Amino acid sequence: MKNPGSLLILVFLLGVGGCQTLSKPANTGEDAALYQALGERSGIATIVTDLMYRIADDKRIAFQFKGLDVTRFHRNLTDLLCALANGPCTYTGKGMREVHSGMDITATQFNALVEDLILAMEANQVPTTAQNELLAKLAPMYDDVRDQ
């Protein structure tokens, strides 16, 4: 071997690579950026708390949430948003269609909740690009949430 140093480097690189394949791949790039911009799970939990106060004060939709199990809603919405943002969370609540069926949710009510979410993200210094990224992931849920 002309250069035993290069063999050592190769063995080292293979070793590092081998370790990486054994562990969970890191969430890097754009995906991780959204989760980070939302402040990870704790930041998302704060945004959801803020959102819930806004919903309670919002005459357009507050009535829909009468008798709400606050703890369950907070946990499940936090996990859902965290998972949508590619964070390490698992959503264990009900399906969107099942949970919202029979509520007669209108397009106006859907938009009102989205507006409250934007205000909650704004109040928690989430950059506009990240806000739009999360909203783009929520938009396809429109058909499952609104009046069937």
Q: Looking at beta carbons only, is 37 or 118 nearer to ligand HEM?
A: 118
In angstroms, the CA 143 to CA 148 distance is 8
The residue among 32, 33, 36, 39 whose CA lies nearest residue 120 is 39
Number of residues forming the site for ligand HEM (CB under 6 A) = 22
Which of 34, 44, 45, 105 is in the footprint of ligand HEM by CB under 6 A?
105
Lookup: tokens for 136:
């783009």
CB of 94 to ligand HEM, least distance (A): 4
Q: Which of these ranges, 5-13, 22-30, 103-111, 126-134, lies near ligand HEM under the rule CB under 6 A?
A: 103-111
The residue among 88, 59, 56 whose CA lies nearest residue 73 is 56
Binding site for ligand HEM (CB under 6 A): 61, 64-65, 68-69, 72-73, 76-77, 80, 93-94, 99-100, 103, 105, 109-110, 113, 138, 141, 145
